[in-house]
Amino acid sequence: MGEGVLTPAFTREGGVLQCEGVPLPIIAASVGTPTYVYSAASLRQQFERIDAALEGVPHRIHFAMKANGSLGVLRTLRAAGAHVDCVSSGELFRARQAGFTPDEIIVGGVGKRADEIEAALDARVACITAESEAELELIAALARARGVVAPVAIRVNPEVTVHAFHEYVKTGQVGDKFGIPLHRAFEAACYAAGLDGLRLVALQHHIGSLLTELGPYGAAADRLVTLLLRLRAEAPEAARHITTLDLGGGFGVTYGDEPPVDLAGLTTVAHRVHAATGCIIAIEPGRFLVAEAGVLLTRVLYRKDSGGRAIVIADAGMNDLVRPALYNAHHRIEPVMATVGAGQADIVGPVCESGDFLARDRALPDVPPGALLAVHTAGAYGFVMSSNYNARPRAAEVLVDGTRWGVIRTRERHEDLVRGERADPDWSIVA
């Protein structure tokens, strides 16, 4: 399978950075900054690339909406053919608002409350992924109370060694909090299949995020295959309804100089797993579908010099994009207007923390105050991880499609910051 030429979402026309056919200064002038801008064409292109990688095997692609849950983004991916993976009842609510039908929705999460399981059951989602025996019991009890049979998957911790950019995004190693450890998975599957109120329809793993080399991913998939084949041989009743192997997400994108993810490797794994089991292959990509579609547009407020370092103070901070502060993550940053002169600077935000930076010691032309900057690869784990820290209203979001653009989330206002608060509570008195 060869890939055609990829169309970049962000290009320069006459020195001005634009998203598809829309110059970014037009958006900044109208909506202000900081603002997330997403390319619909990039969302579709990434979906088509990963869909093509699974060509020839029956498959479902569940967008892990934790990476970007904005309704406009969800709607675009659904129209491209995506299903969705939710990890909370809030995400389930959003997915429904965006138009996903129950059969397109799977629900996971390491610590689901009873009300979240009930919401998933009431919505009749396609599958609920359980991460412990206790959770299987709870799902079964809640399903029985409703007179329904819950389709469930078991998340297996395949206990492989994961290579990912940060410890915080590894999820499939010995001792991790996720899933049922490999050595207990067989018993757990038998237990699940024997519980009234459950139908075990899938086995799942997710080993971590921002994978480029898919060796451990393939090894984890093979462990699921071994488990399923053992169930079929030794506990056929437990394996009877298992139609799907869900191989999770984690497909990397290029933020700086990382190699692109090995999509051909995904093709190989998917074919191998399907050939061995006949199962439908499900995947849960988040970052891969949305990261490159987005930039965070921010304006330079001030420049200063501190201890010989050039400091560029932008109007977007760690509350808008936390990845640099939290993971020391790299995001490419460039001026929106072509700018001459090479420089080196720390690009920081306005938040009162020294950890509030977008980039450190970064080559950047000498941008003056007022200049617009584009922080790239911000479409995944950008807005969704933003907060109101320092009582900063959260950013606006804009979707671009060709030469059209529109606001998909208005900038928060100050009134939004105090919604739901009471300076004087309605006191309850303990007798």
Residues that are catalytic: 352
Cβ of residue 227: shortest distance to ligand LLP, in angstroms? 18
Nearest of 205, 212, 109, 209 to residue 166 by alpha carbon? 209
Q: Are 47 and 61 in contact (CB under 8 A)?
A: yes
Neighbours of 346 (CB within 10 A): 17
Beta bridge partners of 36: 296, 397
Nearest of 369, 168, 197, 332 to residue 257 by alpha carbon? 332
Q: Which residue is nearest to ligand LLP (CB)?
A: 286
Nearest of 34, 14, 18, 16 to residue 350 by alpha carbon? 34
Q: Are 336 and 17 in contact (CB under 8 A)?
A: yes
Q: Are 188 and 141 in contact (CB under 8 A)?
A: no
Handedness of CA 228, 233, 234, 237 (dihedral sign): positive
Task: State which residue, 172 or 197, has the beta carbon closest to ligand LLP.
Answer: 172
Strands (E), 330-418: 333-335, 344-348, 357-363, 372-375, 396-401, 404-409
Cβ of residue 108: shortest distance to ligand LLP, in angstroms? 5
At residue 178, what are phi and psi to the nearest 5 degrees? Answer: -90, 140
The number of helix segments (H) and strand segments (E) in the chain equals 13, 21
Task: State which residue, 309 or 360, has the beta carbon closest to ligand LLP.
Answer: 360
Cβ of residue 155: shortest distance to ligand LLP, in angstroms? 7
Which residues of the chain form contacts with ligand LLP (CB under 6 A)?
64, 66-67, 85, 108, 169, 171, 206, 209-210, 248-251, 284-288, 323, 381
Beta bridge partners of 283: 61
Task: State which residue, 189 or 322, has the beta carbon closest to ligand LLP.
Answer: 322
Cβ of residue 179: shortest distance to ligand LLP, in angstroms? 9
